[in-house]
Amino acid sequence: MTDALVIGAGPAGLMAAEALAKAGRKVVVAEAKPSVGRKFLMAGKSGLNLTKDEPFDAFCTAFDPASPLLPMLNAFGPKQVQDWARDLGQEVFTGSTGRVFPKVMKASPLLRAWMGRLDGLGVTVHTRWRWQGWDGAEALFDTPDGRQTLRPKVTVLALGGASWARLGSDGVWVDHLAGAPIAQFQSANMGFRVNWSPHMQKHFGQPVKAAALLVDGKAHRGEFVISERGLEGGGIYAISKPLREGATLALDLLPDLTSDQVAARLSRPRGKASMSNHLRKALRLDPVRIALLQEFARPLPEGEDLVARLKHLPVPLQGPRPMDEAISVAGGVSWDGLDAGLMLTSRPGVFCAGEMLDWEAPTGGYLLTGCLATGLWAGQHAAARVAGTDVPGTPVS
């Protein structure tokens, strides 16, 4: 009998495998894809954002304040993530926004070092092993060598959500968890569709850096991108939850100026300059923000109405991009189907971790930190169950 089985070789699964192996358990990791950490590597292509270097209380505001996830983040939060990366030989640095990256920026050196550590701990990794559910106490897998079965003492499921199916997060595991309460999947950290007019085509791919996003009476500063499909990027992802739930979006194109200051600058003599040139010279509006104003405030108003539009420009959204284009999902295995150690109450000995749990967090290091924290928590509690001991603060059922 295998001591411990981990199904899914993303950050949560690998962290669970490490916790189990360090506790002396013989661990097998089964991954459906040809290689491990595929979404992790994809996330690191533009710079691997590991976590956010900020006080813990501030860090937790990115999560539901009532979430059972918070004790896990307290045990393995921003500081611990940085220490973990350094321990794998990857020095980190904190950017101007507080985001933490490996100095090499890439994910691949960190993943290679991590897999080397797991190999040294005796962890066995099988790729192209697709989980097909259970037959009694046996886990079933379709593999290149045909049907395989394992009978572990404990199992950690780290199967991802239901976005980015090509990287392994396809959500089909729901069919194998009959009896476990599962909240419906919804897109998270995704772009939103906008029906652009033809004149916006030349701006596709352009970032918008000097605007604020207005949602539910709050201004959010964050860069976003005009794409052929709509609006995307970190600034949009950070407010995707309220937008998904029906909130409206507006832009403040001049967030560093008051309405009175905007009006005063617009009142300067215009001469023969076109309105676009007047906006550029008087307000230092770049072509992208001028294009957005022209797109959503046609024809351009004058006087106080123009000031109002510059400070509050409604953006008609046509709904979120499809779930398979989302970076992550909300929904998944409900907390009320798990004990305090992340074990399924409907199937003792089986634990869950990572994005397959019902939580969501914005990008910017929060999402990855949450996956690592839940993977560690599930792995520690699975190891404790085998040993018949307790993890402090969370007794094993």
Q: What is the pLDDT of residues 173-203, one digit of tens each?
A: 999 998 899 999 999 999 999 999 999 999 9
- Please name every residue paired with 6 in a beta bridge, in sequence order, or none if there are none: 29, 156
Q: Are 332 and 358 in contact (CB under 8 A)?
A: yes
Task: Please give the radius of gyration of the chain, using alpha carbons only, rounded to the nearest integer.
Answer: 24
What are the tens digits of pLDDT across the range 110-126? 999 999 999 999 999 99
- State yes or no: pLDDT of 106 exceeds 60: yes
Q: Dig out the tokens for 360 from the structure.
A: 């969501």
Distance CA(321)–CA(339), nearest Å, equals: 34
Predicted confidence band of residue 396 (pLDDT cuts 50, 70, 90): very low
Distance CA(320)–CA(190), nearest Å, equals: 7
| Interstrand relation of 154-157 and 350-352 (parallel, antiparallel or unpaired) | parallel
181 cis-preceded (ω within 30 degrees of 0): no
Of the candidates 361, 331, 367, the one whose C-alpha atom is nearest the C-alpha of residue 182 is 331
Q: Dig out the tokens for 393 from the structure.
A: 């603060």
Q: Are 13 and 375 in contact (CB under 8 A)?
A: yes
pLDDT score for 276: 85
pLDDT score for 393: 57
Count of helix runs (H) and strand runs (E) in the chain: 13, 21
pLDDT score for 45: 78
How many C-beta atoms surround the C-beta of residue 357 within 10 A?
29
Q: What are the φ and ψ backbone dihedral angles of 98, each rounded to 5 degrees?
A: 90, -5
Q: Are 158 and 12 in contact (CB under 8 A)?
A: yes
Q: Are 376 and 79 in contact (CB under 8 A)?
A: no
Lowest mean pLDDT among 27-41, 265-279, 316-330: 265-279
Q: DSSP for 145-205?
A: TEEEEE--SEEEE----SS-GGGT---GGGGG-TTS-EEEEEEES--EE----GGGGGGTT
Q: Are 101 and 92 in contact (CB under 8 A)?
A: yes
Q: Are 118 and 21 in contact (CB under 8 A)?
A: yes
- State yes or no: pLDDT of 394 exceeds 90: no
- State yes or no: pLDDT of 350 exceeds 50: yes
How far is C-alpha 323 from the chain's CA centre? 13
Sheet holding 313-315: strands in order across?
218-221, 212-215, 249-252, 313-315
- State yes or no: pLDDT of 108 exceeds 60: yes
Distance CA(302)–CA(185), nearest Å, equals: 45
Of the candidates 374, 92, 361, the one whose C-alpha atom is nearest the C-alpha of residue 241 is 361
Q: Which residue's structure tokens are 């939580």?
A: 359
Q: Dig out the tokens for 322 from the structure.
A: 């499809």
296-334 burial: b if 16+ Cβ within 10 Å, else e: bbeeeeeeeebbebbbebebebeebbebbebbbbbbbbe
Q: Which residue's structure tokens are 């100026």?
A: 257
- Find the distance separating the first CA and the last CA of the chain, reported in whole Å: 22
Distance CA(197)–CA(296), nearest Å, equals: 10
**312-331 average pLDDT score:** 93
**372-390 average pLDDT score:** 95
**325-332 average pLDDT score:** 92
Distance CA(388)–CA(372), nearest Å, equals: 24
- State yes or no: pLDDT of 338 exceeds 50: yes
pLDDT score for 269: 86
- State yes or no: pLDDT of 146 exceeds 90: yes
pLDDT score for 74: 95
Of the candidates 321, 337, 370, the one whose C-alpha atom is nearest the C-alpha of residue 158 is 370
Domains of the chain in start order, with CATH, are 4-187+324-387 (3.50.50.60), 192-315 (no CATH)
Residue 158: exposure state from Cβ atoms within 10 A (0-12, 13-18, ≥19): buried
Q: Which residue's structure tokens are 């990027």?
A: 233
- State yes or no: pLDDT of 397 exceeds 50: no
What are the tens digits of pLDDT across the range 50-89? 999 999 999 999 999 889 999 999 999 999 999 999 999 9
- State yes or no: pLDDT of 249 exceeds 50: yes
- State yes or no: pLDDT of 2 exceeds 60: yes
Is the pTM here over 0.75, yes or no?
yes
**5-10 average pLDDT score:** 97
pLDDT score for 302: 81
**Mean pLDDT score of the chain, rounded to an integer?**
93
